Amino acid sequence: MQRLTAIFLLVGLSPLLAVLGLVTRISQGSPVLFRQQRSGLGGKLFSIAKFRSMTDRRDANGELLPDEERVTAWGRFLRRSRLDELPGLWSIARGEMAFVGPRPLLPETIASLGERGQERGKVRPGLTGWAQVNGNTLLSLDEKVALDLDYVRNPSLGRDLVILMRTFWVMIGGERRTSVAGSRAKPDLSQHR
């Protein structure tokens, strides 16, 4: 069902995707998409795509400048509105991701999390998730992982619907650290290190 929904969304959103791709190309050059290997269900690797939000600007020694110096104004808009994530619909259509679940992390990050990383991998990673609607970039990695584990351990359609609705509010109003982040994240940390 999710795969079919993602295909319909890709078709329906194709004009928006084309405009976002064109503006990204004009503002940042090629390639339009950023691709990276991520860890999915059961640790299986897949390639995730996002609209690029940074340039490849380098210093005099040829080293990449810090991220904050390479993010463009357009890139900040894409990130804040979460529109940079729309190419992830392809991963849902291919069955590598779900609409809701823990965000896919780099394989080395999953490895560094030990058992917590393995437990996160018991469900398909999502385009949005419990941590993303409870603070996301305002949270530490441990807080995000604790929220992800809470999601994995307590699955429900009702929660998925809440996450989807709150995702739209985050897209419109921006990130806010919620009380859920503080109350649910801390107990899980002591139990699952």
pLDDT by residue for the chain (193 residues), tens only, comes to: 999 999 999 999 999 999 999 999 998 889 999 999 999 999 999 999 999 998 888 888 888 888 888 888 999 999 989 999 999 999 999 999 999 999 999 999 999 999 999 999 999 999 999 999 998 778 889 999 999 999 999 999 999 999 999 999 888 887 777 766 555 444 443 333 3
The token duo for 55 is 């340039």
pLDDT at position 183 is 54
Cis peptide before 31 (omega within 30 of 0): yes
pLDDT at position 179 is 65
Gap between the Cα atoms of 93 and 11, Å rounded: 11
Nearest to 50 by CA among 4, 103, 11, 102: 103
The token duo for 18 is 């084309």
Gap between the Cα atoms of 146 and 49, Å rounded: 25
Q: Which residues of 52-91 are buried (b: 16+ CB within 10 A; e: fewer)?
A: bbbbeeeeeeeeeeeeeebbbebbeebbbebbbbbbbbbb
Nearest to 145 by CA among 162, 158, 129: 129
pLDDT at position 190 is 38
pLDDT at position 185 is 44
